[in-house]
Every structure is written in structure tokens, then in C-alpha cells.
Amino acid sequence: MKPALECDPIIGAIKRDFGTLWQCRNRGNSIEIVTPFSTATQKFVSVFITRRDDSYVVTDGGWVSSEDQTYGLDEVEEDSGFDAIIEHFCKAFKIYSTREKGGRFFYKKVSDDSLISSAVYDVANFISSVVNSLSIPVQEEVKHREAFRNDANSFLLKQFPNAKFGQHPLDDYKTAIFHAVIIYPAQMSLVAYVTGTRNNYFVNQFQRAVVNFELAAQSRLKAQIKGRIAFINNEAGGYSPQTVNELSPLLTKYHAQPLQWTERESALSVL
């Protein structure tokens, strides 16, 4: 009896279509292979092949741990389990690593041409696994922050139509960023948001707020700053009163007032 589905045309189409996902381009003395392996951060994995002495090196090119966020892990925080994840997948795919020129390179070395594909398979699987593992908490955290930012932005905008969001208001400290700045003719008020799904994210945001208010206190524009508030999201999963007690004195040292989100109405008189 004839089978209901034939293998050949379907597997043929799949092989052909997957085949088009392998691409190659020259990069100086190395080549980049774009692979069909992909990530939850909407990237395709690339591996780089280079010659060293009599061997081929297949490597991630430093992209996995790069600060340039090449694979879209833009919110990975310290303490996110990066080291444990790396160690786990290095073992699983027998990957080596080296640190040089400010980067960390993951690689596999082969001397026989016939083993290049095998090394590409392992390194690409390694990259995809690591990026996907790291992206789980990141996606959740990004959504959480976005939701809180939207709530807080809407609250402020209702009271202060002249509020601007995601601003770098200090021209002498351009790295200082505030979630909201209320603009007055010759003055401004600064607002930072502190939230997080986990305590380490929460602490990290709190510390960033402290640093930004410290820069504001040193800025040549400090006399123009009217109010300084950090909205503390006491409804967040990462909120802990202990963290707030520990870090709040640093905020007040730089003239900023920590304010629980559930008591946000009292911010209006300060801003």
C-alpha cells in the first residue's frame, strides 16, 4: 500500500530550506559561519573559524560574553547565574574558554578537516543553549520593568504634563539617566524607579538610582534641581524592607527621597 505521505519530497524541502540558513562570510583572516541554530532573543548563532598553527579553531568570537550585547541579552545582571550556566554547557559540549584583550572567547580546536562540522555543531549548540538559558529571567524582568515604568510614567504624566521619560538631564554627567524628569522653566525634578522580579535585580536598580542621584548632587546643574524622588516598588517580587533600610540612607545622603509606590501621592508635593 502506498503510504499517505512520502518522505522524499518533504525531507527534501526541509533539507533544502534548512540548507539556505548556512551562510559564510570573510572576516579578515577568519570566516564567520551563520548557522541555522537560533536563540529566543531573535538571533541566529554565528561561529567563527580561524587557523592557528596546524589547527582550526571554531569559536563564538567573544560574542556570548561581550558587553556589546550581540545576542540581545541587554539586561543580564551580575548574579544572574551566568557563571553556572556557562560551566554547565561548557561541560555538556566540551567547550574551552580563554580570556584575552578584554573579552572571553569560547572555542573548540580540531586538526582534522573532517571534524570541523562536529566542532561547529558543538560550539553553535553551546551558544544557543547559553543565550536561551540566560534569556529566561531576562525576558520576565524586562516585561516587569516595562509594566512598572508604564504605570509610573502614566501616574506622573497625569499630574505633570511636562514630564519627560528616560532622560539624560545633566550635560556634565551624560551617563546619568533618570526614568522621569519634570521640566520647569528654570528648574527640574528628577525621578528614579526601583523595582525587580528578584532581589538581586531590585538591589541593582536601587544602587543605580543611588549613583545617578550622586552624580546629580555633583553636577553643575544641582542648584536647578527642585525635587528628587526614588519610587520604590514595594509590590515587586524582589522588594525587601531590609534592602530598602540598608540603601535608603545613601539616597538621602544625595538629597533624594525614597518613596513607597503605594504612597506615591505624597510625591506630588515634592516634585
Partner 1 sequence: MAKAGMNLKIRNGYSQYLEVVNGQKIATSPITLEKGVVNNSNWLGAEVEVQHSSVSHEIYFIAEKSIKCPTNFKFKLRAQHFAQEPIFRFDSDGATHRNDLESIPLSERQVTTPHFHKFNENGINFANKTDVLKTTADAQAIVMDINFGLAHFSTEANLQDSQGKRPIVQETQTDLPIPPNQDPVAGIKFE
Indicate the burial class of 90 (C-beta count within 10 angstroms; 0-12, 13-18, 19 or more). middle
Q: Are 197 and 141 in contact (CB under 8 A)?
A: yes
State the cell numbers at 189: 525634578
Residue 88 touches partner 1, criterion: CB under 8 A: no
Q: Give the closest residue to 44 by CA, choosing from 68, 56, 57, 60.
A: 60
Q: Looking at this protein, which amino acid is placed at residue 238?
A: G
Footprint of partner 1 on residues 132-161 (CB under 8 A)? Answer: 146, 149
Judged by CB under 8 A, which of 80, 89, 93, 105 binds partner 1? 105
Residue 62 touches partner 1, criterion: CB under 8 A: yes
What is the pairing mode between strands 225-232 and 188-194?
A: parallel
First to last CA, the chain: 80
- Least distance (Å) between residue 252 CB and partner 1: 25
Q: Are 119 and 59 in contact (CB under 8 A)?
A: no
- Least distance (Å) between residue 178 CB and partner 1: 13
Q: Which three-class secondary structure state does DSSP give residue 121?
A: helix
Contact mark string toward partner 1, 23..42, x via CB under 8 A: x-x-xxxx---x---xx--x
Applying CB under 8 A, the span of 61-69, 227-235, 236-244, 260-268 interacting with partner 1 comes to: 61-69
Residue among 36 and 237 whose Cβ is closer to partner 1: 36
Binding residues for partner 1 (CB under 8 A): 17-18, 20-21, 23, 25, 27-30, 34, 38-39, 42-46, 48, 50, 52, 57, 59, 61-63, 67-68, 70-72, 96, 98, 100-103, 105, 107, 109, 146, 149, 164-166, 168, 174-175, 177
